[in-house]
């Protein structure tokens, strides 16, 4: 417990400068981009006079200097105020709190699918390196990894939603169904089968190949050769010695793939019309809504930091040397 608290404290302290760089960098980059939300709003209205432009820029604080706006924005963030969305005319924090759970459901289920099934198939492939099963799974994973997520999503929709009609074509749940409790959870899970498959299968192939490669290296280690010389059963060697050591790089990869999977959710949510975090980012870009887009990027950075912190804790639990190294440094 003490090791976990020490590791958590160190990671939080080291994340503060990273988060500050993300905030300042995002704010400056969006300010340097041509146009803003007021321009997009006037474009949707078909134009406006100079008085309306000046009034809108004053109401949203765009008439102030860049340094002052940055200072005010950082001060607002310390009060957990992410600003006001020009496109939706609502607080940014409310929009994110409304959309983020859908993306977390999608990412969490896709990660669980990719990690569990990818690890299992990697163990099957790495149990007997060079066998027909190993070659078939390696070729299949390589082909699957090369498939774009949007193409896979469209194929899944055409086959399983349009032709076979086994699953819904779009959405996160049945509109106006009135379902509550477990019935609503089951309805959401049913709608997420195809999106989770489209997002998870791509990373499943990555975890499979990493697990297989790690097991192939572990077979050549001295402790495995010693276990084989003792006459231990092959199944026990695979599960207790080879697979356990090959699992550590996969845990590290979970944290590295968190940002990539968050980006991939943008495409999957667009294909399946899921009102999630990714679609909200797309709408913010389309509307040139700088406050909303800045809030999305900041929350995404916090989410990635939290995921990596959890991965570090899990890694320290699997390998005690990590925790002891942190504690003693």
Q: How far apart are CA 212 and CA 202, in angstroms?
A: 16
Q: How far apart are CA 79 and CA 72, in angstroms?
A: 11
Going from the C-alpha of 298 to that of each of 137, 244, 279, 315, the distances in angstroms are 39, 36, 16, 26
Helix (H, G, I), strand (E, B), or coil: what is residue 292? helix
Identify whether the C-beta of residue 299 lies closer than 8 Å to the C-beta of residue 96.
yes
In this prediction the pTM is: 0.76
Residuewise pLDDT in 10s, the chain (329 residues): 566 677 778 878 888 888 889 888 888 887 776 666 666 666 655 666 666 667 667 666 666 777 888 888 888 888 888 888 877 888 899 999 989 888 888 888 888 888 888 888 888 887 777 788 888 888 888 888 788 878 888 888 899 988 888 888 888 888 767 777 788 888 888 988 999 988 888 888 888 888 887 777 777 777 777 777 777 777 777 766 677 777 777 777 777 777 777 777 878 888 888 888 888 888 888 777 888 888 898 998 888 888 878 877 777 666 665 555 444 33
C-alpha distance across the termini of the chain, in Å: 17
Identify whether the C-beta of residue 195 lies closer than 8 Å to the C-beta of residue 274.
yes
> Rg for the chain (alpha carbons), in Å?
24
- DSSP code per residue over 181-197: HHHHHHHHHHHHHHHHH
């Amino acid at each position: 417990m003490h090791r976990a608290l020490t590791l958590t404290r160190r990671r939080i302290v080291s994340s503060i400068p990273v988060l500050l760089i993300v905030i300042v960098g995002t704010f400056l980059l969006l300010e340097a981009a041509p146009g803003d939300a007021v321009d997009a709003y006037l474009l949707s209205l078909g134009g406006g006079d100079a008085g309306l432009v000046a009034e809108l820029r004053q109401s949203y604080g765009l008439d102030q200097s860049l340094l002052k706006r940055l200072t005010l924005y950082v001060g607002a963030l310390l009060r957990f105020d992410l600003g006001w969305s020009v496109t939706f005319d609502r607080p940014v924090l409310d929009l994110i709190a409304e959309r983020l759970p859908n993306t977390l459901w999608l990412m969490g289920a896709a990660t669980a699918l990719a990690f569990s099934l990818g690890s299992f198939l990697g163990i099957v492939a790495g149990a007997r390196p060079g066998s027909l099963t190993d070659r078939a799974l390696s070729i299949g994973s390589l082909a699957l990894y090369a498939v774009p997520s949007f193409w896979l999503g469209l194929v899944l929709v055409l086959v399983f939603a349009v032709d076979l009609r086994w699953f819904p074509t779009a959405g996160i749940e049945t509109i106006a169904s009135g379902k509550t409790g477990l019935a609503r959870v089951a309805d959401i899970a049913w709608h997420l089968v195809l999106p989770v498959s489209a997002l998870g299968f791509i990373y499943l192939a990555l975890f499979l190949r990493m697990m297989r490669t790690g097991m192939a290296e572990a077979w050549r280690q001295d402790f495995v050769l010693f276990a084989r010389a003792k006459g231990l059963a092959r199944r026990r060697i695979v599960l207790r010695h080879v697979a356990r050591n090959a699992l550590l790089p996969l845990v590290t990869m979970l944290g590295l793939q968190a940002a990539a999977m968050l980006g991939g959710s943008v495409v999957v949510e667009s294909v399946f019309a899921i009102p999630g975090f990714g679609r909200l980012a797309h709408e913010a870009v389309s509307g040139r809504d700088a406050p909303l887009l800045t809030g999305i990027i900041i929350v995404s950075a916090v989410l990635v930091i939290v995921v990596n912190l959890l991965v570090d804790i899990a890694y320290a639990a699997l390998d005690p040397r990590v925790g002891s190294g942190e504690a003693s440094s």
